[in-house]
Structure 1
Amino acid sequence: MDLAALTIFRAVVRENGVTRAAAKLNRVQSNVTMRIKQLEQQLGAELFVRDGRRLVLTPAGRALLPYAERLLALAEEARHAVREDRPRGRLALGAMESAAASRLPRVLANYHQRWPEVELELSTGTTGCLIERVAQFEIDAALIATPPDATVLTDAFESVPVFSEELVMVTPRGHRAIQAAEDVALSTLVAFERGCAYRSYVERWYAEHGLRPARVLELGSYHAIVACVAAGAGVAVAPRSVLDLLPGGAREVAIHPLDSLGAVPTLLIWRRGHYSAALDALRGTLLAQASLPQGASSSVDAASSEAHPQAPAIAS
């Protein structure tokens, strides 16, 4: 069972088929099919079954996938460890939608200019989902909100704070001032699915006042959430930095500071002991950007050049 076969197996899973996997890997389809069959022969089990025009993982395939992810991640770490200390290769980063929209564009632009040899892949999700994906070797690192229950960040992770977000309550225009949960006139909370740390914070805020929303309307983007609030469907909690980005959308709602929630740090997390020059350079870029006054620009060359061959020493 060699790494090339595992790479092909993972690509077929990620690309949902042999055709797209072959294109992604720059191989012919027949080669991908042959390598999958050889891997199945080595393992003595079928990894895929055909359901119409698509391939579906068998129980054996589902069992193999997390091991393949871990082995390939470890192999990538080994390659980084023995190469010269220059960021290159693949870096899979996860981020909350809020961070991806309001914090990352300038950071990633600077990063790509400084380290063009890094193939950076960005995906979004809730804090809970991102923590799980880092733990399962699906992504190398993630930008998450500090969870209300800090115990979910076990000794398996290292982290460093890179931003701080002010959470505010968003209501339809004309809503009375909000200082406590009793002041909220609408009974519906518009929020992301469970696993969103900001949702957990506001639900805890309600509970501290002996209340809870009558219902939760789950949506998948801040644009949709703000639009529903503006239409009178309910209230929401969001980082102020996201609302500042919405073109005219924030003018259709009222924004209420929630001092009792305080500022929520955004953390960059990664698996304990994981190191790559690409990840260390990203950490330096994020920290350099976070130290700038809001609206300032930076070349971040000095911070990015601080990447060094030993693993980062900052722990969670």
Structure 2
Amino acid sequence: MNSTSLNLFKTVAETGSISAAARSLHCVSSNVTTRLKQLEASLDVSLFVREKNRLYITPEGELLLRYANKILALLEEAELSMLGTKVAGPLRIGAMETTAAVRLPSILANFHREMPSIELNLKTAPTETLVQHILNNELEIAFVADHPGLHMENSPLQSHVLCQETLVLVTTAEHQNVITGADLQVTRPLVFVKGCNYRSRLGEWLCLQGVDCADPLEFGSFQAILGCVSAGMGIALLPENVVRQYENNFPIRSHTITPQIGKVNTMMIWLKSREVSRVLNHFVSFITRA
């Protein structure tokens, strides 16, 4: 048993299947199966049981997983401690504006304290633009809204869930409670530029509600959107944590919408095919162990 076999076991436990683990580890399924059987044989236990093409971890596997998490975390911490002073260079990061404003400040501050020799450069843009920047090697890493394209079998992108956002409909403070589109007193969408996932979701919700609305007004910042919403110009769909942070600055009100549209993961993405630099590897490791 070594760190490689523990990492393989941990990946199988997290993904629930040999094929998914193989994709994550960038190897063939037969290799994962063989190495997993070797680990079970060396420990003389069954770590998984198979039911309907899915693996379920056994009690012995649960015990080993707890140790594996501790051991791998300690190894990573030791490596970062040894290499931390030697790793230097720029890291180009992209993020949606709302993520950059609310989610990233503490993350980037903590990472900078741990790795002060890495120069962080942050660019904000909508999801579709950020994905294209990653594909064009214009960014090393980006934080985007989840969408089906990230999960295609042959996607060139690697991804990791940073958090789940709750999106809320935003109106003037005096607006009545909005349960359906019929409750809206004003319907013009106030949105970011095209390519924004939240913009698409607002359009989808209005369409499902049968709301016939005017053409959207585009803005470059969420502060401008909130200001114009509070002035009665229209409605917006934004992360709840952003709205809560600024509701004392603007007379606005938030309304919950259906989870199918109102729940969305923020994903960290980078290129699978990229020969991962030590700078990028340290940042990815920092986020995934947080």
TM-score normalised according to structure 2 size? 0.66
Q: How does 1:73-222 map to 2 (within 5 A)?
A: 87-147=87-147, 155-222=155-222
Determine helix, strand or coil for the equivalent of 1:161: strand
Alpha-carbon spacing, 1:249–1:267, altered in 2? closer, same or farther (3 Å) = same
For structure 1, the residue ranges without an aligned partner over 5 or more in a row are 1-82, 290-316
SS of aligned partner of 1:167: strand
Instruction: Give secondary structure in 2 for the equivalent of 1:199.
Output: helix
1:148 touches 1:197 (CA, 8 Å); kept in 2? no
Percent identity reads 32
The 3-state SS of whatever aligns with 2:193 is: coil
Moved segments of 4+, more than 6 Å:
none
* 1:14-40 CA distance string (max 9 Å, x none): xxxxxxxxxxxxxxxxxxxxxxxxxxx
Pairs aligned (count)? 206
Counting only pairs closer than 5 Å after superposition, residues 56-75 of structure 1 correspond to structure 2 as none
3-state SS in 1 of match to 2:178: coil
Whether contact under 8 Å (1:160, 1:268) holds in the other structure is yes
Aligned-pair CA distance for 1:182: 2.5
Change (3 A) 1:179 1:148: farther
Q: Provide the residue aligned with 1:256 in structure 2.
A: 255
Q: 2:183 corresponds to which letter in structure 1?
A: D
Give the secondary structure class of the aligned counterpart of 1:100: helix
Q: Which runs of 5+ in 2 are unaligned?
A: 1-82
Cα pair distance change 1:177/1:272, threshold 3 Å: same
1:182-231 Cα offsets, whole Å, 9 max, x none, are: 22221211010110001111111122233343220100111100000000
Q: 1:152 to 1:168 in 2, by over 3 A?
A: farther
CA distance in 2, matches of 1:185, 1:165: 26
Change (3 A) 1:190 1:152: farther
| Cα-to-partner distance string for 1:287-311 (whole Å, 9 max, x where unaligned) | 444xxxxxxxxxxxxxxxxxxxxxx
Return the alpha-carbon distance in structure 2 between the equivalents of residues 282 and 212 of structure 1: 45
Residue pair 1:226, 1:249 contacting (<8 A) in 2 also? no
Kindly report which structure 2 residues correspond to 1:29-48, keeping only aligned pairs within 5 A, or say none: none
Structure 2 CA distance, aligned partners of 1:183 and 1:268? 36
Q: Deviations over 1:109-163 (max 9, x none)?
A: 1111111111111110000110011111111110001136657896111111111
Describe the shift of the 1:150–1:107 C-alpha distance in structure 2 as closer, same or farther (beyond 3 A).
Answer: closer
Question: Taking structure 1 as reference, are residues 150 and 178 closer, same or farther at Cα in structure 2, changes over 3 Å only?
Answer: farther
1:277 aligns with 2:282: no
Comparing 129-138 with 202-211, greater Cα deviation is found at 202-211
Instruction: Please tell me whether the aligned partners of residues 203 and 212 of structure 1 are also in contact (alpha carbons under 8 angstroms).
Output: no
Cα RMSD for the two superposed structures: 2.3
TM-score by length of 1: 0.60
Partner Cα distance (2:109, 2:84) in 1: 24
The Cα of 1:85 is off from its aligned counterpart by 10
Taking a change above 3 Å as real, the CA distance of residues 94 and 253 of structure 1, as seen in their structure-2 partners, is same
The letter for the 1-side match of 2:138 is E
